[in-house]
Every structure is written in C-alpha cells, then in structure tokens.
Structure 1
Amino acid sequence: MIRIEVSPQDIAASRFAISPLIETVHATWVLEGRVSAGALQAWAARWREPYRRLGRPGLALIQAISGHRGSGNVDFVAPPPTGVNVPFDRELAALRATPLDRAHEEIAQLTVPRELRAALEGPHVVRLIADALEAVWREIVSPEWPRFHAVMERDVVWRAGRLATSGWAAALDDLSAQVRWRDGGLDCDLSSDFVKRDLNGRGLLFMPSVFGSRVGVYLDDAWPYALVYPARGVGATQAGGGARLEALMRLMGRTRARVLAELATPATTTQLAAVMGQALGTVGEHVAALRGTGLITGARAGRGVVYSRTPLGDALVTGELTP
C-alpha cells in the first residue's frame, strides 16, 4: 500500500499533464503483448507487425527496465512532463540528456535478463533507448496522436472540473479501484509493502493515459510526484455494449450515434472531431442536431463550449433512465 498525504496547499498546487513520451513507452507494452490493449485492440492488431519490423535493439532494453509491477522500474526512460501540450521532441531531448551514471544507478537496482545486462550497463544504453522510442513515436504513435491527445485532454478537462468543484474524492472516484481518497490522503493499492509519502506542498501531477491499463506512481524525489491512470473515454464508442450501439447507429445514423456515445466524457466539438477523425464542420452539424433534441447540452468553458449528455441522452445510450 502506498499512502500519499495531501494538504490544502497540495490541492492548490496539483496539476494535470499529458506526456507523448510516456504514452510511447506504454504503447510498446501494448504492442509487446505485456498489457491488455483494451479498447485499442484494433489499433494494436494494425501496428504489431510494423512494430516488430522496427528491429531496434533498444526496444528489448525498454521492456527489461519498465512496466514491471512490484519489481521496480527506472524513471529516466520517461520523466514526468510539465504540462498538457509538451512536445515529444522536448521530452526526448530530456531523455537523451540523462547522465550515464544516473541511468546505470537506476538500472543497478533492478533484476534484468542476463543476456541484456551488458547492453544495459554499457556506454550507449541511453542512446539505444532514446533511438528506439523515437522510432516508435515517428512510425507508429504520432500518426494517431491527435486522436489520443483529444481523449486525454477531455479527461483532463472533466477531472479538473470535478477536482475544483467537488474535491479530490469526487475527481478520483472512477479513476481506479486501486486508488481511493481516505482521511485527507490517497491510498494506492500498488505495493505489498507499506510506503508513505508526504507531498509537502508540491502537489501531485495527474497524467491520463490511453495505453495504460493500470495506475502507476512516480515517487522519485528528483521528479514531481505523479499519478498515471487510464483516461476516461478510450472505449466510449463501446458504451452500452456493442449490440446496443449498433442499434443506436441504425436509429440515428453512425456518426450521430458515435458523437452521443463519445460524450460519456464531456468534450468540445474540436476534441470530438479529433477523436473521431471527422471534419470539424461535420461533427458540428451532428452536435447541433443532438443539442436541439435535448440529448446533449453545452456549457461555455473559456473560449469554447464543452458538451455533455443529458439524462435523456444517457438513457438512450445505456438503456437506463436515471430519476
């Protein structure tokens, strides 16, 4: 159990971030078959063979030192980002600048396969890992990054709103069964040992992930303390079950039904267009039609309008009418 103590100062200092580099690492776990692809089964099936053809030696090193629950990981491979729109190239540059001594020190804490130890302890380990992640990003992740980013951005908007208006308990309620708010702090069921950390006013960095199927934490004092969690809405188009969604598509048309399903997580028209791969004008027409029939509603947020389903829209998608 990991216990993270939170003060009022930490609540004010906490923030959200999206990391294309960390998502690229997570993508390798999915493509290696180490974690479930979940709602991204079709994406994984499409990209597994191109991933294998990359043939980068650093890919095996990444798998050896990251994503091992309970047995330790390194932090230098994917340091927590500083904002929602940090470019991949900036994060990659930070990885490439990792001092070799630090990389070796972190790797030395792990038990790694004997056949990889020479490369992991060698002088080129940072470059090999960075080159491999750059190849995965350029060839595989970046083509669909606008859609993935829109999903995570929607999660940030929704969860930050809950955090501001209803507090941490409400914002974290559906994050994961492994994380719960209790007695002014976070209990994370991620370790068999009891570990306690105090944020000491630095706040917590929340990072949604489209590839991550489980919660993870960064507790290295060299970086901001961070919580990585599965983003809402990755499988929104599966809402209500496949058969029900297909019936909804026959009733109102495929695109309009998809818009309604996607709005299980509130979104702007621009975000919907990115997630669905549709023209902004086309999505806007469907949003207007759904709003006109009372299935969705819009609320202004800054310069944009965030749309969400009404109880009637929820009932149409889920088949359950909430009083």
Structure 2
Amino acid sequence: MLRALRPEEWGPDFIAPPPSGGMARTPSDDLAVIRGTPLPVAREQIGRALALGSGPVADDVTRVLERDDVVEWLAEAQEGLWRLLIAPDWPQLLAILDRDVLFRADRLVRSGWAAALEDLHERVRWEAGAVVVRDRSPLEIDLDGRGLMFVPSVFLHRGAATYSEPPWQPAVVYAARGSAALWDPEPTTPPALARLLGRTRADLLLRLESPASTTQLCTLTGHTLGAIGDHLRVLRESGLVTRTRIGRSVVYRRTPVGDVLAAVGPE
C-alpha cells in the first residue's frame, strides 16, 4: 500500500506530515496528525498518487484504499513499521538530525542564508532574497508570515522534497548531514592519531567534523555523559575543540588546529 502511494515524483502529504510551528514533535504526535486527516483530503491525495503511478495496483490494495477507515488503516500500518523498523535505532537517528539542525543554525547565524543553504542540496539556493528550489514545475509561494520549515531526513537519498499545498506549512525536506553514519557508524581512526590522543578522544575529534552536544555524542558513541565531558575538556584545554551555547545546548566544534590534526591520514 505504501509503495502504491509513493510514485516517482509525488506522494500524499498526509501520510508524512511536515512539522509545524517550530515545535518539536514525537512519533506519537506525527501519528496523531495522520489520524486527524479529513477523509476527503485523504481520498483526493490517494487518487492523485494512484493516477501518477507507473503500473497497476493489486486488487487487495485497492480494496483497502477504498475503505472509509483508510486513514486509520494507514496510521496503524505506519505505527507498526515504526515500532519494528525505526524505534530501535531512533536515538541514533535523532542525534543525526539534531546535529544537522545545529550545523545549519550555526552557519545561518555566522554567515547568513546563502551559507546555511550552500550544500543543503544542489537544487536549493538563496537567490535575490528568496529560497529557490529548482523544480520541473515552477511555482512561486508567498509565505505570508507562515514561515518556511527546513526538515532534515535520514531517509531521503535523492533530491529534495517540498511541501507547498495547504493545510500543511511550506517546508523543504533534505538529506541530513551524517546520514552515512547509519551504514558506517564508526569513523576510521588513524592509528597515529589514536596513539597521540587516545582512541576515544581521537574518535570524538573526528566526529566533531560537524558541531555536536555532549548528549548527541553520547548517543552516537555509547559512552557515558561523564566520560564524554572529561574527554571534551581535555580536547578543549589542548586547543583542539571549542564550545558555544546555542539555546539550551552547549555545542562543541573543532578549532582550525583540530581540523588539521583530524585531517591526518592513516599511516
């Protein structure tokens, strides 16, 4: 069913609703939003997805999509997939997403919109005071005070996705930095760097290619908060990392000296 609702170029927004209002949402919140979709909205989007599909839809799938409780059915299916496939790895996934948000926010504060969007995706640019997403179908959207959400994803591998239709808030979805860590979670630490700093501190220095908080580093490495804090203190006192407060989080990043040391290749 979910494959049938995901044609190549478009998919129903209601089964993957974007965040809204700048507030953090839990998976349970997302499922509640899906369940709250009015049936006419779901019917229209399901029909459009099937029309854009590249092949026939199996009879058993069609029967379910025509049910009056199709919204609840889809929500139940996605909840089951969440618990089976995603929930076990959710802390690590969330850490990757949070790091991307910190990275973009840091760039935005330091250098402005052009820098924040520079490597977000080749189709996304800041031009003449506007966010431009190059697409096959040109469309100009006046945000009219609604704001534009930028949503990192660990599941998006091709292109950038957009939300542009009401009632959803306009949003751009893009691949989060560090998503490759899902498939290669442990960075390769050069033996010389490990001997110089110790393996754990060398590992932390490599991971700080992008800014991260102690909590995020704990999630990614499996070390305790106290151990991470001790190692970061040594790296900071050695001039290899620095720390900055962003909102409620204390974020660590490499210094130029740390960048040079982290660039040392294997022996």
**TM-score normalised to structure 1 length:** 0.71
CA distance in 1, matches of 2:263, 2:183: 10
Q: How does 1:276-295 map to 2 (within 5 A)?
A: 276-295=221-240
* Larger RCO: 1 or 2 (CA < 8 Å, sep 6+): 1
Cα separation, 2, equivalents of 1:260 and 1:75? 39
CA distance in 1, matches of 2:26, 2:253: 29
Q: Does residue 199 of structure 1 match 2:137?
A: no
Deviations 1:99-128 (A, max 9, x none): 222211111112343213332223232222
Cα deviation, residue 227, structure 1: 0.7
Give 1:77 shift: 0.3
| SS of equivalent residue, structure 1 residue 109 | helix
Of 212, 216, 224, the residue aligned with 1:271 is 216
Runs (5+) with no aligned partner, structure 2 = none
Indicate yes or no: 2:149 matched with 1:210. no
Q: Is it true that 1:101 corresponds to 2:40 in the alignment?
A: yes
User: Offset at 1:91?
Assistant: 1.5
1:223, distance to aligned residue in structure 2 (A): 0.8
CA contact (8 A) 1:236 1:264 kept: no
The reply to whether residue 92 of structure 1 matches residue 31 of structure 2 is yes
Q: Deviations over 1:171-192 (max 9, x none)?
A: 1111111211112222223x32
CA distance, structure 2, for counterparts of residue 245 and residue 118 of structure 1: 57
Deviation at 1:220, TM superposition (A): 0.9
Query: CA separation in 2, counterparts of 1:246 and 1:216?
Result: 40
Tell me, in whole angstroms, the C-alpha distance in 2 between the residues paired with 1:187 and 1:312. Answer: 36
Corresponding residue number in structure 1 for 2:120: 175
Aligned: 1:74 with 2:74: no
Query: Hey, what's the Cα distance between the residues in 2 that align with 1:139 and 1:253?
Result: 37
**Shift in alpha-carbon separation, 1:245–1:97, aligned structure 2, 3 A:** farther
Q: Give me the whole-angstrom Cα distance separating, in 2, the residues matched to 1:186 and 1:85.
A: 23
Aligned residue number for residue 221 of structure 1: 166
> Which letter maps to 1:215?
A
SS in 2 for 1:229: strand
AA partner of residue 36 (structure 2): A
Backbone CA RMSD of aligned residues: 2.6
Aligned partner of residue 174 in structure 2, secondary structure: strand
Tell which deviates more after alignment, 250-259 or 143-152.
Answer: 250-259
Deviations along 1:247-269, one digit per CA (max 9) or x if unpaired, are 64455343222211221111111
Which shows bigger deviation, 226-235 or 244-253?
Answer: 244-253
The question of whether the paired residues in 1 share the 8 Å contact of 2:39 and 2:71 is answered with yes
Tell me the residue number matched to 1:258.
203
**Aligned-partner SS, 1:232:** coil
State the AA in 1 paired with 2:79: E
Task: Tell me the number of residue pairs that the alignment of Structure 1 and Structure 2 aligns.
Answer: 256
Q: Report the Cα distance in structure 2 between the residues aligned to 1:177 and 1:247, rounded to whole angstroms.
A: 36
For residues 210 and 154 of structure 1, the distance between their equivalents in structure 2, rounded to whole angstroms, comes to 12
Letter in 2 for 1:64: A
Contact 2:189 2:203 in 1 (8 A): no
Pairing 1:1-323 to 2, within 5 Å after superposition: 61-66=1-6, 68-70=7-9, 72-82=10-20, 83=22, 85-110=24-49, 111=51, 112=53, 113-115=56-58, 116-189=61-134, 191-213=135-157, 214-235=159-180, 245=190, 248-249=193-194, 251-319=196-264
How far did residue 84 of structure 1 move? 5.0
1 CA distance for matches of 2:187 and 2:219?
22
Change (3 A) 1:261 1:234: farther
Q: TM-score, normalization: structure 2?
A: 0.85
Cα separation, 2, equivalents of 1:91 and 1:173? 29
Structure 1: tracts of 5 or more residues without a match:
1-60
Cα 1:97/1:236, change in 2 over 3 Å: closer
Note closer, same or farther for the CA distance 1:91–1:242 as it changes in structure 2 (3 Å cut): closer
